[in-house]
Structure 1
Amino acid sequence: MGGKRQIKLAAYLIGTGMHVASWKHPLSNPNASIDIKQLQNLAKKAESGKFDIAFIADSLAINHESHPQILNRLDPVIQITALAAATEKIGLGATASTTYSEPYVLARQISSVDHISGGRAAWNLVTTADATGETAQNFSREKHWEHNHRYERAEEFIDVVKGLWDSWEDDAFVYNKETGQFYDRERVHEINYKGNYFSVKGPLNIARSIQGQPVVVQAGASKPGQRLAARTAEVVFVHWDNLDTGKTHYKRLKGQLDEFNRSENDLLILQGISPIIGTTEEEAIAKYTELQNLIDPFVGLKFVSGYMGNVDFSKYSLDTPAIEVEFPKSNSIQSQVNEFMKIIKEENLKVGELYGRLFGAGKRDGFVGTPEQVADEMEKWFVEKAADGFMIQFPLLPRDLEDFVEKVVPILQQRGIYREDYEGDTLRDHLGLRKPVNRFAREKVKK
């Protein structure tokens, strides 16, 4: 779709916020991750700020070394169904695993929410990062599959899901009461998929939605992840450490689209940020420091451990150079682990510095400051094409979301780089993505 390029925004909704100590803050509700009224209010606040997507992450096992909010959370698909009832425009993204789901069930669930919400659903495709391997044991498996194995299955999974979403052509249901014709048999199709992992006949037992197909979101940045994204994703969530790295990745990923007959406008890249806003820079830093002071250093290290291969940090002092730590091979998010190791080596970090340096919600960067400073930093990433927008992981909810909507959004709007109002009703309308042509209808035309 045409028009002036504008920033796209997703609100990452995780209970009390992304900061590992957010639940301890006086303003927080520790039960927020399962308090649907509060979650609905967060989505409505993001909608008042004209956000594109309210995004819900997931985990399929309890990792005692990870973020406290992961221990007590709602199923994402059920949660976005409840959010759909409380909102009118904002897109709704739910995470679901290709490693621990079945494509027919997942296709039906996400399509159902797409209908319920009037075409506002998105599926965040993940292969599941699991440093501890405990997820596999919840699904009758002895161990978590290796990275490349997971992506092989994911490649088939997405093909099955997208095929099922095209089972019915847009006008397949005719509902002719006079003739008694409920649907046109010629406009419904079996996919008859047979691969190494799946054998699915179809069709899906639900009509095609108003936006054609739910939007596909992905976060993988490894080589297999980038290839899958370039072939199938429409929104990609990244978390690069600096502007130059972001620009390099942006160009690299967009450069792969041509191989799959796609254009740059078919894929949006959102950089993860964690803004903390103050009337003055000093106030913003004070808010940041207050959160940092709530962290037990070794609790922060437990969070790091969950991403870095289940490291036993109890053997090390906080002053130990992190390069001396024995990091086991991780079966987690490969691109993130590689980026972390690069930073550790280049900056010679100490163990006690790891959480604050490596994780956005604990990091003091250009997104901690006045509304103007935060807007400036966002504009820089956007204009220099390091990102098409941002996945905002607010450190403390609802405070930081409210500050952003009330203080930063108006500045972005005044600069003409962010919408004044929604462009349409569906998530594809918001994102400027085309409605996919039904593959079976297209094949009939070719014949």
Structure 2
Amino acid sequence: MTPLAALAARSAWSRRGTLALVVLSIALSTALLLTLERLREDVRASFAQAVSGTDLVVGARTGPVQLMLYAVFRLGGATNDISMASVEALARQPAVAWVVPIALGDSHRGFPVVGTTPAYFEHFRYGDAQPLVLAEGRAFSGTLDGLYEAVLGFEVAARLAYRPGQRIVLAHGAGGELGAEHADKPFTVVGVLAPTGTPVGRSVHVGLQAIEAIHLDWAGGAPLPGLAIPAEQARKFDLAPKRATAVFVGLKNRVAVFRMQRWVADYEAEPLMAVLPGVALDELWEVVGVGERALLAVSVLVAAVSLAGLVAVVLAGLGERRRELAVLRAVGAGPRQVLLLLAAEAALVTAAGVVTGALAAAAGIAFAGPLLQQRLGVALGLGAPTATQWAWLAAVLVAGMLAGLVPGWRAYRLSLADGLSPR
């Protein structure tokens, strides 16, 4: 350490009580900046990794963002259903390798219910083309014998403390109000999926035939008066699915994706649309990214206020340090050395705040990460700072050093006699 830096450190330490508040302020603003940047990147990654390996999402003609929100994230208003005849026509196309229809609209204790086929567990991918893995039990069979079987997402099982073998009751509609339950047709949990950090973990999965079975004695969103079909008797009815909310489509060759998109758009039996997941997710991020940018702007303003506080504290202390600076000038320190001394003090205080803030951000992410994963499905990664985070750290540090030049310039202009003359 150079003599000037050592002197700056001792000078700052002698005023540690006042400067500790400045360090705390800078630390909080730095922690806010780093946490928001990490949250922004991880939320965007969660958006991008919600569905992978699916070339098209087909549904009723609506907006691409609305279809993706409802079909993938189980959010927003319900879209119109499409007929299974259209799904079968889509599956017969030579370019199509597989289709996985899903039916939405029911819930269990606030978690969405997804009606689908066993092919869902075979073809659905998330993240970097990662397959769904069962942490416990097995997938539902999709047969009449296993009609009332359910597979839970990891977060559903963790939040509600469910294990394979337990019985659950589905509710009609997304709200799951009392009195709207399919209590006469309970389901048995047969499997629990491993954590994915996607909406899959917050969903209850059952067969499409089961969705038909629980609605046999319902019409218009309400049970039919005087009609109650027991669970076992439901197996004697035709439970072939009639409608689907959306279809995940995998192609034999991705070169055909635009040709298939045009085929869906020109389909005459009913109005359909095919969405490219990656394009729709980018559009979706543009919608929700406005709030993220606003939060980032607020954190930048907080950092600016903290640095302004640093300048104010050092300027306020100049009046008390006039004699100290004059003594330094008397023993041979020139105006330039005084300016550098105050700039070095500001840099040390800023560096202490930045380091403290970075440690606080890491501790906060380590503590809150599992909670956010469980409650919101957002996986916060605790790792080395990203390039953007390093840039923010460097920006705060440089801004602190530049802020130190303001009181340094003020001290530079003070004369030796100004500090030694009595007041």
Task: Tell me the TM-score range normalised by the shorter chain.
Answer: under 0.3
Higher helix fraction (1 or 2): 2
Q: Which has the larger radius of gyration?
A: 2
Q: Which has the higher contact order (CA 8 A, sep 6+)?
A: 2
TM-score when scaled to structure 1?
Answer: 0.20
TM-score when scaled to structure 2?
Answer: 0.21
